[in-house]
Amino acid sequence: MKIYPPLCITSRLLPGIYIGGAEISIEYAHVKNDRLHFQWYIDLGVQHFSDCNLAASFRDGRLQGGLESLLGFLATFAERIAYEERTGEKCKEPDLFPLGLAEWAAENVDEINMLQCTLMDKPGELIEE
């Protein structure tokens, strides 16, 4: 596997990216209902978050596509948190991410969006599997 900037190999020895003091890593998890699921990790100082509910179709099931999806969900999460703080109105959708990531995501939403766009502009070019 070859990784190209802005992606890197994280301390978990997985492909990932650094954003605002957080290390984001991704790997394949399992296949369920014809969808490929990814395990993601976000290490933010001494806090560690992970889950394997991120899924993609086999067509988009490469690691770079999974990371792109993860960043999209993080950006949406950050924008939702900002909306809730601005309006006081709580959204009813369940969270993909724990609330412990809310402040970090809100502070880094611009960089998250920028890096997601970078991945979208270079599909399959930043992680050669």
* pLDDT tens-digit series, residues 89-107: 887 766 678 878 888 998 9
Q: What is the pLDDT of residues 30-76, one digit of tens each?
A: 888 878 889 999 999 889 998 877 776 555 558 898 999 899 989 98
Range of the domain at 53: 2-128
Instruction: Please tell me which of 5-9, 32-36, 80-84 the model is most confident about, judged by mean pLDDT.
Output: 5-9
Give residue 111's pLDDT.
96
The pTM (predicted TM-score) of the whole model is 0.87
pLDDT at 31: 83
Angle between helix axes 63-87 and 109-121 (nearest 10 degrees) is 150
* Total domains in the fold of the chain: 1
Q: How far apart are CA 93 and CA 73, in angstroms?
A: 13
Q: Specify the pairing of strand 35-44 against strand 127-128.
A: unpaired
